[in-house]
Amino acid sequence: MERVYRQIKIQSKQNIENNPFYQVFKELPSTIPLEEQKALRKDARKTIKEEIIPSYELLEEFFKTEYLPQARLTVGLYDTPKGKELYEQLAKSFTTTNLTPKEIHNIGLGEVARIRGEMEEVIKEGKV
């Protein structure tokens, strides 16, 4: 979550010309008359300055003072209350087997090793 906070902070501190919301206004289609392009850019700068950046500043403050202090340090379902049981149930549901998540993971590791071995054989034979 710290990375998300840093991204929000960057958005709230970025100057208007470099703001992602302004990028589309830098190269408007030539079918739009120049005076209208200038007006669109002016309106965009105003909106970014008066609406978007202040909103990001509010989000940054909320994230820092309320959200982050209560956020979990882990991201997996496994680390939530009854997460292990729920994770196992989801694994059964999605795979339609009675294998545990660990068994499924081990099968995956074996398959990766097998395929990697086959790829290395093809490379050795000079077919690539």
Q: In the listed set 28, 44, 70, which residue is the last one of a domain according to the structure?
A: 70
Coil, strand, or helix at residue 96? coil
Q: Average pLDDT for residues 92-117, to the nearest whole number?
A: 95
Number of domains forming the structure of the chain: 2
Give the global pTM: 0.62
Q: In this predicted model, which residue has the larger pLDDT, 8 or 75?
A: 8
Distance CA 88, CA 107 (A): 16
Which class for 32: exposed (0-12), middle (13-18), buried (19 or more C-beta within 10 A)? exposed
Distance CA 31, CA 48 (A): 24
Minimum mean pLDDT range among 30-34, 35-39, 74-78, 113-117: 74-78
Q: Which range of residues forms the domain containing residue 25?
A: 2-70
pLDDT digits (tens, 9 = 90+) for 53-77: 999 999 999 999 999 999 988 888 8
Q: Are 10 and 61 contained in the same domain?
A: yes
Q: In the listed set 70, 93, 114, which residue is the last one of a domain according to the structure?
A: 70
Q: Are 36 and 87 contained in the same domain?
A: no
Q: Are 66 and 34 contained in the same domain?
A: yes
pLDDT of residue 45: 97
Q: In the listed set 24, 46, 70, which residue is the last one of a domain according to the structure?
A: 70
Q: Are 56 and 108 contained in the same domain?
A: no
